Structure 1
Amino acid sequence: MAKEKNKSPTKKKSPVAMSEEKSKKPRKPKTATHPPYFQMIKEALMTLKEKNGSSPYAIAKKIEEKYKSVLPENFRKTLSLQLKNSVAKGKLVKIRASYKLSETTKMTTRSSSSSRKSKRTLNKPEVATKKKRKAKKKPRQPKSIKSSVGKKALKASAT
Structure 2
Amino acid sequence: MAASEFNRSPLPPYPEMIMTALEALQEQNGSNKTTISKYIESKYGDLPAGHSQLLTHHLNRMKDTGKLVFWKNNYTIRNPNAPPRRGRGRPPKAKGPVLPATVSSPMKTRGRPPKDPDAPKPMKASTGSGRPRGRPRKMAKPASGLGGSVEAAASGTGGTGRPRGRPPKAKASLTEVSVGN
Q: TM-score over 0.5 for the alignment?
A: no
TM tier, shorter chain? 0.3 to 0.5
TM-score w.r.t. length of structure 2: 0.38
Name the structure where helix makes up a greater proportion of residues. 1
TM-score w.r.t. length of structure 1: 0.44
